[in-house]
Amino acid sequence: MIKILKYGEVANSDIFARTVPTANVSDVVADIIYDVRKNGDGALFAYTEKFDGAKLESLAVSDEEIRDAYSQVDDKFKEILEKAAANIRKFHQKQVRNSFIINDERGIVTGQKITPVDRAGLYVPGGTAAYPSTVLMDAIPAKIAGVPELYMVTPPLKNGKVNPVILTAAKIAGVDKIFKVGGAQAIAALAYGTESIPKVDKIVGPGNAYVAEAKRQVYGVVSIDMIAGPSEILVLADKNSDPRHVAADLLSQAEHDKMASAVLVTDSEDLAKAVSDQLEEQIPMLERQEIARASIDNNGKIIVAPDLMLAIDIANEIAPEHLELCVDNPFDYLDSIRHAGSIFMGRSCPEALGDYFAGPNHTLPTSGSAKFSSPLSVDDFVKKTQYTYYTRDALEKVARDVAYFAEKEGLTAHAKSALVRIEEQK
């Protein structure tokens, strides 16, 4: 049963405690990365047979396999995927940054140009746990950013095929090439390249503890989006909220995995008790009830605050991945929510809208990192380059100031590089 905690009556360490993954896989992952760097495709074939039970002849998914997969997916689901993709494109198109130039002083030009990364790699969990939503959410911003080469890696089924819904989503999203490999070995392949898989500049996408650790270890060789922890939801609800809806929303994340965190923060003791009762009623009806039960019992909590504004302060301190604002007039409180990956506004906006359909990205900061990081976006696939131009006359006007500044830092060669040019003119 979920814990109910009254703010001010229990220690803050209990209020703000969060799930901490304990798996220590760093040495195993380091060995896998070394093996892939040394043995390339050979290591990938071996790991795919060992971990996925698939003996492959080729790592690449053929065009014929994609066409065949597309034909296997029912038309209704393909139509829904297209609608979701359109919403995701509409939202992320607004994130496109423009280059700029400043030339309002004679002889001086400064500016910034936006350039997409040359190659990006997308990791998508596969096998029986197929997430076509992840394909859309991670691939579409990359293509909007203008990434010319987008490669996807995903573990195959035991028959050597990729789940058809994954390939269908990749086709809709515009992925350029797909490879049948998963786990830490797939991250290593994208980071260093093999005979079949090109080295990329950026790796994005969620995965298990091995994938997350591999991304951590290759960071610096390539860029990554984030180190994702267990899924989180925080529902901020007042006394007028429907406990059935709140409980259902908490369970929508609890069913992800046993380490997932579902938290309700409310100013109503009555709602807290009603939601607890609803959880006990709804959990037995879930297909993934064992997972949801472990998540709710071990990581779930209901925090009762004296008033709604303190409840908001608590939510900001937790900085959840997903935050539902279940109140009347939610826009009145939007500016008060400072730390959350994605906010779902009002009583008719379940977090599942964001997972699949609404358009904002579902690849979000976890484990409190929403205090300093952002959802996946078009920005993740571009880099900003500055440039500066001065004429000789423009340099002469400021060279002594530059030199004086440099000398204050004890860098006399810096100073000389500016002064030598105006001395030459004289």
Residues that are catalytic: 321-322
Residue from 341, 345, 343 nearest 375 by CA: 341
In angstroms, the CA 402 to CA 330 distance is 51
Give 123's strand partners. 153
- 51, 193 in Cβ contact below 8 A? no
Q: What single-letter amino acid sits at 268?
A: S
- Give the H/E segment covering residue 13: helix 12-15
Tallying the residues shown for the chain, one arrives at: 426
Sign of CA dihedral 265, 266, 272, 278: negative
Q: Which residue has the tokens 């786990």?
A: 183
Cβ-defined contacts of 101-110 (< 8 Å, 24+): 105/394, 106/391, 106/393, 106/394, 107/390, 107/391, 107/393, 107/394, 108/389, 108/390, 108/391, 108/394, 109/387, 109/388, 109/389, 110/386, 110/387, 110/388, 110/389
- Give the H/E segment covering residue 212: helix 209-218
- 113, 97 in Cβ contact below 8 A? no
